[in-house]
Amino acid sequence: MKYKKVLVTGGAGCIGIQVCNQLIEKGIDVVLYDLSEQINLTEKFLDKRIILKHGSIMDRTSLRDSIIGCDAVIHLAAHLGVMRTESNKLRCLEINIEGTKNVLEAVVNNKNIKKLVFASSSEVYGEPLTNPITEDAVTQGRTLYAVSKLAGEELIRAYKYEFKGFDYTILRYFNTYGPYQVAQFVIPRFIYRTLNGKSPVINGAGNQKRSYSFSSDTARATVDSLFSNKTNNVVMNIGNSNEPVTLLELANKIIQASGKKGKIKPEINKKFSNTDREADREINFRYCDTTLAKRLINYEPKISLDEGIKKVIDVGYIPLSWITSEKNYLIDE
């Protein structure tokens, strides 16, 4: 399916920047819809041809006006980050559920919209029974964020059933990282501390295993999903299934890439003291099976973890916090 103009909510974030730029490269008109604070932070990294719309997914009027003339939507906007979502649970539910409902209302009220791609999360799986995780695994999220993402998925199915005028693809992103990502997430946080001569702090024993996908790979899968009819009304895992690593291995990779080997060692915080995380909700092993994505859109990660870490270091832009009207969430420098 060929689309002429795509609305991307949350388009000024780590993944959104890559999605918008890749769409422009394909000759698609792009309307980026995001908070003014976020656009102001990352506008310099965006293709100049992108149409910028300042607004919140909580603002139904602004959403309705911004979607005019579009024929597809990629919905990335969300309230995320452990500290943010757990410290303001009601806001997390409001933005991720009510905000997604607002996007869906804009979609069904605009008869030109043919497809919606929704960014869900591997958090919905919680601690999986087996790894790697396939899409038919039990969903047993441990966090409010996970609950909000599952609710978003169900809302999309409900609207599809009721209105039938659009198709959807639900993408369950596994840990994604890249340039411009806030240092609330593990890879930019480790890089920021290491480059500043401080030990990356690992909460827990360090044997927690994850798979990490570079933002351009996640974005490419998102864009390819939009244009493929094979992904219509499908739930699909997106991540780097080739390189699951432990947190300790990850920290040592970053130390080496930063040129700090022999000067810095990872710091192990087994008791989760002075952190926003809790031991009883920590996921020990979670990494993805992307067989379905490979079959439907020929998805294969192109950027290795070592290459991706180097790219983040080379760009050198790691914002310390989300600057929002609610609160400035700043990491411990």
Residue range 5-18, pLDDT digits in tens: 999 999 999 999 99
Position 32 in a domain: yes
Q: Using omega within 30 degrees of 0 as the cis cutoff, is the peptide bond preceding 132 cis?
A: yes
Position 291 in a domain: no
Q: Are residues 254 and 172 part of one domain?
A: no
Q: Mean pLDDT across the stretch 204-223?
A: 95
Judged on CB neighbours under 10 Å (0-12, 13-18, 19+), 50 is buried
Count of the separate structural domains present in the chain: 2
Q: Are residues 111 and 78 part of one domain?
A: yes
Q: Are residues 81 and 218 part of one domain?
A: yes
Taking the C-alpha atoms of residue 89 and residue 84, their distance in angstroms, rounded to an integer, is 8
Give 118-153 pLDDT, tens digit per residue. Answer: 999 999 999 888 899 999 999 999 889 999 999 999
Position 300 in a domain: no
Q: Are residues 82 and 12 part of one domain?
A: yes
Q: Are residues 152 and 266 part of one domain?
A: no
Q: Active-site residues: which are they?
A: 145
Position 288 in a domain: no
Q: Are residues 144 and 9 part of one domain?
A: yes
Task: Please state the pTM of the whole predicted model.
Answer: 0.93
The answer, yes or no, to whether residue 68 has pLDDT greater than 60, is yes
The answer, yes or no, to whether residue 321 has pLDDT greater than 90, is no
Position 254 in a domain: yes
Q: Are residues 205 and 220 part of one domain?
A: no
Q: Is 163 within 8 Å of 230 (Cβ atoms)?
A: no
Q: Which domain does 276 fall in, by range? A: 186-210+245-283+305-330
CA torsion, points 321, 14, 134, 306, in degrees to nearest 10?
-90
CATH of the domain at 203: 3.90.25.10
Position 290 in a domain: no
Give 229-286 pLDDT, tens digit per residue. Answer: 999 999 999 999 888 999 999 999 999 999 999 999 999 987 665 555 555 667 788 8
Q: Are residues 121 and 198 part of one domain?
A: no
- Of 92-106, 161-175, 200-214, 272-286, the one with minimum mean pLDDT is 272-286
Q: Are residues 126 and 190 part of one domain?
A: no
Phi/psi at 327 (nearest 5 deg)? -170, 150
What is the structure's pLDDT at 80? Answer: 85
Q: Are residues 101 and 58 part of one domain?
A: yes
Q: Are residues 196 and 106 part of one domain?
A: no
Taking the C-alpha atoms of residue 105 and residue 159, their distance in angstroms, rounded to an integer, is 9
CATH of the domain at 172: 3.40.50.720
Position 296 in a domain: no
Position 292 in a domain: no
Confidence grade of residue 332 (pLDDT, cut at 50, 70, 90): very low
Q: Are residues 310 and 255 part of one domain?
A: yes
